[in-house]
Amino acid sequence: MKSTFQTIEGTSDLLPGAPKALVRTEVWHHIERGIHEIMRRHGFSEIRTPILEHTGLIARGIGQLTDIVSKEMYTFERGNTNYVLRPELTAPIMRSYLQHHLEQQPGVQRLYYLGACFRAERPQKGRYRQFHQFGAEIIGTEDPRADAEIIAVMMEVYRALGLLETRLRINTLGSAETRPQYREALVRYLEPHRETLTGVSQDRLSRNPLRILDTKVEAERKILKEAPRLYAYLDEESRRNYEALKRVLASIAIPYLEDPMLVRGLDYYTRTAFELEHDGIGAQSALAGGGRYDLLAPAIGAKKPVPAVGFAAGMERLILAMEGSGLPLPESDPFDVWMIALGDAAGEKAFIFVQSLRRAGLRAGLELTGRSMKAQMRLANRAGSRWVVILGEKELETEQAIVKDMVTGEQIAVPFMGLTQNLTEKLK
């Protein structure tokens, strides 16, 4: 059977027991549980914001000149309002922080999230139009320990899930005051090479020259080797912060690589910027990225800066990386008990038992289409059930069910009266 419609390019259905780990619901549950647990341990609380936001929030927050805002947003108009399907969650979370006056809460805010994001990119392995991020933000402090804490909680999620071969690159982007000077110096240096640059970089040279720094084009990398370094233009405080961040990371044994060419695709960053990479997820090596964004709040209307730092990571890239590293991923969620009923009367009785087992806390299953014993046994096997309970006419008469241990193959008769208790105790 086939419908006229298929999923939209760059989006996917998640299905229980799907052969591909990337779209298997059980794998997502496994990873989501891990994320919730690590976040809880680190003292982060979950925030959920709407998928729809005002386009202005994203455009002003992320920056008009970024690829995301200039080419990748899904927007639509209704009445006089322009809506966007969120391409990320940091600007929405800062909006929420300001809207609900979270600055009035005592201490810093440690918030984490999981959710769907949308970017109109060219789909390929590790890059989708609807993808899912998890991430965390610490809002309310300039302390570089917050930057280190964000990096630490990010790394811990991967470590807890068994993904150890990651590479952390860090950089500082300096302050909003010093960056224009660096920008000028970079443009001055690159201008004589304009003809050698790719079309994309030529365009960036006039609009967003810092983005040229993270080019993957070898010829451009060569040119950039001699380019002025942002580090030379840093203000005293940014420099001190960067040194402090490196010290704190070293003190908690988090290895990092300093990369003066690291720039991010969103305009709201100042000072700390970082990315976590993994080989083996195709052209998209970035598992996660983030940094400090003290000026995002004023960009979206706050009267003054709100110090904040965070990271976001792609769920799909995490799954691809885990799969690529050969880490075990759950196949399906096995049943505790599967009821097999033969005949209508047994079917009704079995239904009552199944509900009672479920209320008692067991994962219990039952086929509803009245198939043969053999077909039902096949389903019980597929469900990976630990126990199978068989009810036929004879069992109804004797008021005893047959309970089969699917590991040993052993069968015993258990009186109806004590059936739920018997199975609950077996599975304790």
Contact between 128 and ligand HAM by CB under 6 A: the answer reads: yes
Contact between 133 and ligand HAM by CB under 6 A: the answer reads: yes
Q: Determine the Cα–Cα distance for residues 136 and 156; give it in Å rounded to an integer.
A: 12
Distance of CA 236 to the CA centre of its chain: 35
At 182, the amino acid letter reads Y
Contact (Cβ atoms closer than 8 angstroms) between residue 414 and residue 401: yes
Contact between 135 and ligand HAM by CB under 6 A: the answer reads: yes
Contact (Cβ atoms closer than 8 angstroms) between residue 347 and residue 341: yes
Residue 183's CB is within 10 A of a number of other CB atoms, namely 15
Contact between 27 and ligand HAM by CB under 6 A: the answer reads: no
Is the CB of 69 or the CB of 190 nearer to ligand HAM?
69
Contact between 131 and ligand HAM by CB under 6 A: the answer reads: yes
* Helix, strand, coil percentages for the chain (3-state, nearest 5): 40, 20, 35
To ligand HAM, the closest distance from the beta carbon of 244 in angstroms equals: 19
Distance of CA 4 to the CA centre of its chain: 31
Question: What is the contact mask toward ligand HAM in residues 254 to 283, using x (rule: CB under 6 A)?
Answer: -----------xx-----------------
Q: Using CB under 6 A, which of 147, 316, 367, 395 touches ligand HAM? A: 316
At 337, the amino acid letter reads V
Q: Using CB under 6 A, which of 27, 30, 84, 88 touches ligand HAM? A: 88
Contact between 317 and ligand HAM by CB under 6 A: the answer reads: yes
Given CA atoms 305, 306, 310, 316 in this order, what sign does their dihedral have?
A: negative
Contact between 288 and ligand HAM by CB under 6 A: the answer reads: yes
The residues that bridge with 258 in the sheet, in sequence order, are 170
Contact between 171 and ligand HAM by CB under 6 A: the answer reads: no
Residue 10's CB is within 10 A of a number of other CB atoms, namely 17
Contact between 314 and ligand HAM by CB under 6 A: the answer reads: yes
Is the CB of 308 or the CB of 366 nearer to ligand HAM?
308
344 burial level (CB within 10 Å; 0-12, 13-18, 19+): exposed
Q: Determine the Cα–Cα distance for residues 29 and 307; give it in Å rounded to an integer.
A: 33
Is the CB of 114 or the CB of 388 nearer to ligand HAM?
114
Contact between 290 and ligand HAM by CB under 6 A: the answer reads: yes
To ligand HAM, the closest distance from the beta carbon of 317 in angstroms equals: 4
Binding segment toward ligand HAM, per CB under 6 A, in 131-139, 326-334, 341-349, 385-393: 131-139
Torsions phi, psi for 209 (to 5 deg): -60, -30
Residues that bind ligand HAM in the complex, under the rule CB under 6 A:
88, 90, 119, 121, 126-128, 131, 133, 135, 137, 265-266, 286-291, 293, 310-314, 316-317
